């Protein structure tokens, strides 16, 4: 019935309808999530925008404000400055014979960053340069060798070319070469001590190499150029080039032939005397030019690995010692100059004399006797010369030692010269005065004694011993000072006469050369014993100093042999040297 039907209650929603309602109700949370997502995206976009602005700003800063610094870095990575070493000057002897010269070589180095096969490269290096492959591999792999390490320095050019070829053919990289020079000494140990040596960088260490280092070494240059990726210089990539200025050549006073003869005579003579310690000097008394000078043991500057520790210097210049009886000539000349005695003046000489609890005697036993001053010098009497000077007073002797320069350096152009030692006069005791009269209790060098005897030979004028003669390129000759030390020509003539009779009638007979007036004085000096005090027993320093008077020669020679057992003589060595000089320089009597 329609009415009844119209009055029915609404029916319940279907399941489908409820599901739809629920579905509708759940749509709002997704809308909220979408809103949150939009905020994150916006934040990320904002951060990206800020980063982009910062990056763009940084790029702009680098390209504008800070560009120069980075351009400089970039250029530095493809530019390199190389040293251009100056060639060291040549040293010649007085006749133009080369004593020291510089030979062009190469320093070989590696840049480990570009070594493409360290093991293979090391094998090649060992094959051509010596040492072991392991040695080179250790050098290249060393952490401190990040971009540069020397592998071998001063390598001969032919070896360098062979190594280059081998590495190139094997396509091995990372090894480079720089210009260098090696110092060579063509005469080996002859004059080696005089010439001296240089270090691997070409700096003088000893001898003339050190003394004239500033003149010899010149001024290094440099090359600044572009390099490729692997450090190889780019042709025509020169940025700046400063030429090196080579060092000056020097000509020294040595005569290498005479030097060889002197060294041979000294070595043989000292061998005969059973000692390995001796010195010799040969000098022109009129000019101070040294023709030869040496000390045992000799040194070969080409072979320093086997050099004796005492060989690098000339002990005749650098080591003072108690000279002994060769010093009696100083006392005798003082006696003549002061007029205290003449060669014929007599004085009583007992066997011994006592002073300050010490006893002075001659080196050989003799009876008491009256002796002339000439005989005192001929027989080298310690007692006689001591008493002679005592009657004059010790002060004039002290003054003359100073005047003759025997307590100061001679001024020779050689490093490390010693000036010796003498106590101040106020500290002289009687025994000290006696001792100094015959060359004990005072020290001086063989070169100082040579200069003193040269002064006598040169008529009282002392010259400065020197080794530099000339700069060949400019022909500049240095001037050396001279000094008039003795003006009493009678005293000089008498001392020469007395030195002549030492050779003809006294202790120096072995030095006589037929047809020539050899003058000189022997010496047998006691050696101080630093351990036990006093002097050593039966061990002596021997010497002879002299010259040829009345001849065309101005040469003066000193020969010493140290630590010799027994009272012997160096006269034979002197005679060998002067005989050679007579032949070599055609010396004739006048």
Output the 3-class SS for 71-129: HHHHHHHCEEEEEECCCCCCEECCCCCEEEEEEEEEEEEECHHHCCCHHHHHHHHHHHH
pLDDT for residue 439:
96
Q: What digits encode the pLDDT tens for the residues 92-143? A: 999 999 999 999 999 999 999 899 999 999 999 999 999 999 999 999 998 8
pLDDT for residue 27:
44
3-state secondary structure 140-205: HHCCCCCCCEEEEEEECHHHHHHHHHHHHHCCCCCEEEEEEEEEECCCCCCCHHHHCCECCCCCEC
| Phi (first) and psi of residue 404, to 5 degrees | -80, 0
Element (H, E) at 490: helix 489-505
Is the pLDDT confidence value at 438 over 90? yes
pLDDT for residue 5:
43
Is the pLDDT confidence value at 349 over 70? yes
Is the pLDDT confidence value at 73 over 60? no
Question: Among 68-77, 317-326, 366-375, whose mean pLDDT is lowest?
Answer: 68-77
More confident residue, 89 or 77: 89
Strand partners for 360 = 353
Buried b (16+ CB within 10 A) or exposed e, 440-462: bbbbbbbbbbbbbbbbbbbebbb
Is the pLDDT confidence value at 365 over 60? yes
pLDDT for residue 531:
83
pLDDT for residue 84:
86
Positive or negative: CA dihedral 293, 294, 300, 304: negative
pLDDT for residue 222:
84
Is the pLDDT confidence value at 190 over 90? yes
Report the pLDDT averaged over residues 192-205: 95
pLDDT for residue 12:
43
pLDDT band at 28 (very low <50, low <70, confident <90, very high): very low
What is the greatest pairwise CA distance in the chain? 193
pLDDT band at 227 (very low <50, low <70, confident <90, very high): low
Q: Which domains does the chain have, with CATH numbers?
A: 104-182 (3.30.70.2110), 256-467+475-584 (3.40.710.10)
More confident residue, 36 or 513: 513
Using DSSP's 3-state secondary structure scheme, residue 271 falls into helix
pLDDT for residue 364:
86
Four-point Cα dihedral 34, 36, 39, 43, nearest 10:
-120
pLDDT for residue 566:
87
Using DSSP's 3-state secondary structure scheme, residue 260 falls into helix
pLDDT for residue 80:
67
d(CA 294, CA 302): 17
Residue 104 preceded by cis peptide, ω within 30: no
Report the pLDDT averaged over residues 329-344: 98
3-state secondary structure 501-556: HHHHHCCCHHHCCCCCEEEEEEEEEEEECCCCCCEEEEEEEEEEEEEEECECCCEE
Whole-angstrom CA distances from 341 to 211, 388, 491 are 44, 8, 10
Q: Name the percent of the chain lying above pLDDT 70.
A: 84
pLDDT band at 65 (very low <50, low <70, confident <90, very high): low
pLDDT band at 60 (very low <50, low <70, confident <90, very high): low
Instruction: Find out whether 343 and 372 touch, Cβ atoms under 8 Å.
Output: yes
More confident residue, 384 or 235: 384
pLDDT band at 53 (very low <50, low <70, confident <90, very high): low
d(CA 483, CA 97): 32
Question: Among 16-25, 118-127, 215-224, 415-424, whose mean pLDDT is lowest?
Answer: 16-25
pLDDT for residue 534:
84
Instruction: Find out whether 561 and 273 touch, Cβ atoms under 8 Å.
Output: yes
Average pLDDT of the chain?
88
* Residue 528: count of CB within 10 angstroms of its CB: 15
Q: What digits encode the pLDDT tens for the residues 495-524? A: 999 999 999 999 999 999 999 999 999 999
pLDDT for residue 77:
52
pLDDT for residue 224:
75
Report the pLDDT averaged over residues 461-482: 97
Rank 41-55, 304-318, 406-420 by mean pLDDT and report only the highest.
Answer: 406-420
pLDDT for residue 564:
96
Is the pLDDT confidence value at 233 over 90? no
pLDDT for residue 239:
65
pLDDT for residue 96:
97
Query: Angle at Cα 167 formed by Cα 166 and Cα 168, nearest 5°?
Result: 95
Is the pLDDT confidence value at 18 over 90? no
pLDDT for residue 55:
56
pLDDT for residue 533:
83
Lookup: tokens for 441: 């209790």
pLDDT for residue 19:
42
Is the pLDDT confidence value at 82 over 90? no
Is the pLDDT confidence value at 548 over 50? yes
């Amino acid at each position: 019935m329609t009415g009844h039907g119209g009055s029915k209650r609404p029916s319940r929603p279907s399941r489908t309808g409820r599901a739809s309602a629920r579905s509708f109700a759940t749509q709002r949370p997704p809308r909220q999530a979408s809103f949150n997502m939009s905020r994150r995206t916006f934040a990320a976009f904002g951060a990206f925008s800020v980063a982009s602005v910062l990056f763009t700003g940084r790029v702009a800063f680098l390209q504008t404000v800070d560009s120069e610094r980075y351009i400089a870095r970039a250029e530095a990575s493809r530019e390199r400055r190389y040293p251009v070493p100056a060639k060291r000057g040549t040293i010649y002897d007085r006749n133009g014979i080369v004593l020291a010269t510089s030979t062009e070589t190469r320093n070989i180095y590696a840049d480990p960053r570009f070594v493409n096969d360290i093991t293979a490269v090391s094998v090649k290096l060992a094959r051509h340069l010596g040492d072991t492959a392991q040695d080179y591999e250790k050098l290249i792999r060393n952490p401190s060798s990040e971009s540069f390490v020397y592998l071998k320095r001063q390598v001969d050019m032919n070896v360098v070319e062979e190594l280059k070829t081998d590495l190139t053919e094997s396509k091995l990289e990372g090894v480079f070469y720089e210009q260098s020079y090696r110092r060579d000494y063509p005469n080996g140990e002859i004059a080696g001590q005089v010439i001296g040596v240089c270090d691997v960088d070409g700096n003088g260490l000893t001898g003339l190499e050190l003394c004239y280092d500033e003149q010899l070494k010149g001024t290094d240059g440099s090359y600044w150029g572009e390099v490729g990726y692997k450090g190889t210089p780019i042709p025509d990539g020169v940025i700046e080039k400063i030429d090196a200025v080579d060092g000056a050549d020097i000509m020294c006073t040595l005569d290498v032939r005479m030097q060889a003869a002197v060294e041979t005579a000294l070595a043989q003579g000292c061998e005969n005397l059973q000692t390995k310690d001796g010195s010799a000097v040969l000098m022109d008394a009129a000019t101070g030019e040294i023709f030869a000078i040496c000390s045992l043991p000799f040194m070969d500057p080409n072979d320093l690995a086997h050099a004796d520790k005492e060989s690098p210097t000339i002990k005749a210049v650098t080591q003072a010692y108690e000279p002994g009886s060769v010093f009696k000539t100083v006392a005798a000349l003082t006696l003549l100059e002061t007029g205290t005695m003449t060669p014929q003046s007599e004085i009583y000489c007992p066997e011994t004399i006592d002073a300050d609890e010490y006893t002075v005697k001659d080196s050989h036993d003799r009876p008491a006797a009256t002796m002339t001053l000439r005989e005192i010098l001929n027989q080298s009497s310690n007692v006689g010369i001591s008493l002679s000077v005592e009657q004059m007073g010790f002060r004039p002797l002290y003054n003359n030692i100073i005047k003759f320069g025997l307590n100061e350096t001679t001024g020779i152009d050689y490093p490390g010269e010693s000036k010796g030692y003498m106590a101040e006069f106020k500290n002289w005791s009687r025994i000290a005065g006696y001792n100094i009269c015959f060359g004990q209790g005072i020290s001086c060098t063989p070169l100082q004694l040579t200069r003193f005897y040269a002064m006598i030979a040169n008529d009282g004028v002392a010259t400065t011993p020197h080794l530099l003669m000339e700069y060949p390129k400019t022909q500049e000759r240095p001037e050396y000072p001279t000094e008039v030390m003795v003006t009493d020509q009678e005293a000089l003539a008498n001392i020469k006469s007395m030195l002549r009779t030492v050779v003809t009638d006294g202790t120096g007979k072995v030095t006589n050369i037929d047809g020539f007036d050899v003058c000189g004085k022997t010496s047998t000096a006691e050696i101080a014993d630093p351990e036990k005090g006093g002097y050593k027993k039966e061990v002596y320093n021997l010497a002879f100093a002299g010259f040829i008077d009345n001849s065309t020669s101005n040469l003066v020679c000193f020969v010493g042999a140290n630590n010799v057992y027994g009272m012997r003589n160096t006269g034979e060595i002197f005679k060998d040297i002067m005989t050679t000089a007579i032949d070599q320089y055609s010396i004739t009597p006048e």
